[in-house]
Structure 1
Amino acid sequence: MSVRILALVGSLRAGSHNRQLAEAAVKLAPEGADVQLFEGLAEIPFYNEDIDVEGSVPATAVRLREAVGSADALLLFTPEYNGTIPAVLKNAIDWLSRPYGAGALTAKPVAVVGTAFGQYGGVWAQDETRKSLGVAGAQVLEDVKLSIAGSLTRFAETHPADDTEVAAQLAEVVARVHGQAAGQSA
């Protein structure tokens, strides 16, 4: 049985290093793991309880909830915007946290990784993302971490999949998420 890991990327930029990192995760997935990138976070409106009612939920939010609901685990890739989580990723978490106590994130294994230009690789954004996911009911894999500093220079001419050190670290992250999800479904 294949373990489905859904990747959400907090950067909308086409050339995003976090998107490249997510693409690398797809390539580096171990046997038995199927990593898929979710497309469409930009189209999901900001969370508003007034439109989160039966018959009014935007189709894009429904699609996100269904994708997460059918995944065995999540892997979030976040840049750091002004020291914190990007709005598009926080908005996705907000949609996935509802209905309260029974949202698509409830008890779902989730790991947060990423890269940023700063010297700490976006750890503040990753920590804020983990906090938000935990409050939303996810099973945050606190010990599965990867923060890659200096993204603008490190990946200026090299895709993360072609960086031997990053590829090895990312493969380990995906393997650990896979193992956690496989262990839950056993």
Structure 2
Amino acid sequence: MDIDHVYIEYTQEFEKELNIVHGFGSISAFIDDEAEEPTDIGSIMYNFYNMFSFKRANDALISADALSDDEAYIMSTLLYSDFEFEDGGAIITLDRIVLEEQYQSAKLERMILEEFLEYCSYMMVDYVAVIASKPLNERKKSDKIVEFPQQKMYEACDFITVGGSEKHNPVMIRNLL
């Protein structure tokens, strides 16, 4: 199976109480040359923060905390790191890319990430942040060795590490300005 291009159909939902936009993308591709319609191969989930719409940066952290521990971890790492943000701006936190088991590959995931970054750039997003950990379907509670294989893929796409530690998931950011 050699996929040359992926298609992502985006939908977004504004959550007024938290002052953020939840985003979802349905990922599809033409799996074989004979197909007339693309095949659904996965999804992508993210959250959009318009930092100009928060009175204080900590208000964004409160909204992130209401979503999940991972989201709060990303936002607190960004806000309290040495990384220099432009005042305000638009931040997307990439929650996850999920691929159907038969389509999982590092090459395909990178292709999806690059397509998503193009979309973010077009939408005039300033920063994209992510936790560079193993995909959910690869995590095992019995793992004794801490590994962050996704970190190399994000570094190859010009993300830099702004937080985390040897034993805690690295938070990475890409400046799209």
TM-score (norm 1): 0.31
Q: Of Structure 1 and Structure 2, which has the larger fraction of its residues in strand?
A: 2
Structure with more of its chain in helix, by fraction? 1
- Taking structure 2 as the reference length, the TM-score comes to 0.32
Larger Rg: 2
